[in-house]
Structure 1
């Protein structure tokens, strides 16, 4: 899908000077409760939109125009599938931006064609080559039959690194719940990446789940050890040196990012400090040192371009320690910090946007009027950045884990400023049962129950400018 690229340029309009913040009047008390809840949710989304006025270049697509373009691509994909001989029913899920083949509600991930990456590639491809994108899409729906024995599958078994959000949100795709058995077997690499197993076929990469492993009589760890060894044998080439102490993995085989699992490959780059890697794309592994400011800036610049490309992974950095990979950010006074901060905010925003779409669809299908609040990044004229979410009084909502919370009371009218503005940590200290973590959601969300007292809000009537870190760029 075409993901929103709005990291820089989002504005809080009057909110950041505590003027002109918008709430909305509540639904009429005389309506039915269900209709009132729907109206409250609509108004909550409008309040978010008014609070975040997007200062974007002319020509930026409206949400309606973007959706129309996605829908048109889905129809072209359906036509291509039919031309390729697909005879099953094809159901288009606009909210999930996917096609289900066969049963409309079937939970088999193998019968699902995810359109997002193909759509991004289609838009990034010259018109004369776009048919090739559609041709590759049609091959996804006909996954090869997997070998019957583990001995047969061994040579084609490889590890795949993806963003943790990809794995954590699969239960939303297969119509299950957070306790549903995952259709793909995986394990965490750190706080925001995960690794799974794949069968590397001639035209397709097929993720493997617990059913396949059980049929072959092997555990995930046993199969993963085999996959790592296969990858090791494919990773004998020297790294490409960008500058002394900063390297690029030379492989463009869809497994470049997976090489971060091979310490000996990462350590081929003789870095200053400890190794730091970024895997913004499946075909891009960047390596530099924690004490190499020029190297950090160079890999961040490349990563910022790569996370905008089709099939992007994650923009956040990792540092290699004796116990494995851990999240990494440069020192706040480093010249590289601003770009790493952009990468962090962009990735979290993208993951939350995807989660929001899937959760809204889930609750709509269940008939639940639960408001899924947005995670919004903001950068001021000095280049300082924060992320924020809006907590509205009287609205049953799921709140993302943003850095700042704006408290709004719709009963005060459209032009009323926030009744409170606070950092997440300050709210969490006293919120208690008003802010309850929701099991099984990543990125994390919290069920909002109630609203802070006037006394609490009085302590959170901050000047929004004070919520930025003055030590930041």
Structure 2
């Protein structure tokens, strides 16, 4: 007789992750486990691990538990090993986040600004700056920026140039709905690149996009009713079921910049 394997609860999943992390990083201490949030201490420094994305992947592909655990453990372990490595200017990339991400950071740490470098993009979105390392994306800290000798107002140009050199961008779809494919990590960040013209995206009306997750950039036109409905549905569904979420809103290209789409356009 065969029995169906029971799905792990959030706390059970977190426990398995922690066991694997402790095997990977000797001497790491556990300060707190709060469902999918783990606080650790290593060589005097505290770190937080957020397993929401990992558990979301596991929930969709429960048979792939071991690979998912290993992938996120490798990324988390790099948080500790990267501290002893120097970050180069060529590794700096832009990461797009929304108000929900900011609110989450503030809830966990009211002084989160001391550990992140970011700037507003529009009324809904923010640009965070990070280093693309071998195993993870390491969010830049002010002291690291100072060590690199970079001014904050130079970051966007540097990060966007690095992104252009890093990505191979492909467009798929038709006039009703296009999709950008760029490796699965930085699709949302492509909104910062200089590719948004009518030749590249021959849509009806102004360019309208959805970036529900970091690996999904969808495009339609402001005067394309069918495309807008498809776009709205895909963004809403991804925000309900997906991981590495970015935004639940739609954005319209105006004067070279994406602004929040409003119903009275």
TM-score w.r.t. the length of structure 2 is 0.85
In the other structure, the counterpart of 2:187 is 256
Question: Structure with the greater relative contact order (CA < 8 A, sep ≥ 6): 1 or 2?
Answer: 1
In the other structure, the counterpart of 1:232 is 164
- Secondary structure, counterpart of 1:264 in structure 2: coil
Distance 1:239-1:102 versus aligned 2 partners, 3 A rule: same
In the other structure, the counterpart of 2:3 is none
Deviation at 1:218, TM superposition (A): 1.1
**Structure with greater strand share of residues:** 2
Distance 1:136 1:154 in 2: 26
In the other structure, the counterpart of 1:217 is 149
Distance 1:168-1:210 versus aligned 2 partners, 3 A rule: farther
Deviation at 1:236, TM superposition (A): 5.4
The Cα RMSD (Å) is 2.6
In the other structure, the counterpart of 1:113 is 49
- Contact 2:22–2:28 (Cα < 8 Å) also in 1: no
Distance 1:282-1:146 versus aligned 2 partners, 3 A rule: farther
- Contact 1:167–1:186 (Cα < 8 Å) also in 2: no
Distance 1:324-1:330 versus aligned 2 partners, 3 A rule: same
Distance 1:116-1:292 versus aligned 2 partners, 3 A rule: same
- Contact 2:175–2:220 (Cα < 8 Å) also in 1: no
Distance 1:233 1:276 in 2: 25
* Greater Rg over alpha carbons, structure: 1
Distance 2:261 2:84 in 1: 39
- Secondary structure, counterpart of 1:218 in structure 2: coil
- Structure 2 unmatched ranges of 5 or more: 1-6
C-alpha distance after superposition, 1:119-156 (max 9, x if no partner): 111211141x11111112222133224754xxx61222
Equivalent positions of 1:70-81 (< 5 A) are 70-81=10-21
Distance 1:125-1:195 versus aligned 2 partners, 3 A rule: same
C-alpha distance after superposition, 1:222-241 (max 9, x if no partner): 1221110121234554411x
Deviation at 1:310, TM superposition (A): 1.7
Distance 1:231 1:270 in 2: 24
- Structure 1 unmatched ranges of 5 or more: 1-65, 333-473
- Secondary structure, counterpart of 2:128 in structure 1: strand
Distance 2:166 2:149 in 1: 26
TM-score w.r.t. the length of structure 1 is 0.49
Distance 1:89-1:191 versus aligned 2 partners, 3 A rule: same
In the other structure, the counterpart of 2:4 is none
- Secondary structure, counterpart of 1:81 in structure 2: helix
Distance 1:135 1:141 in 2: 10
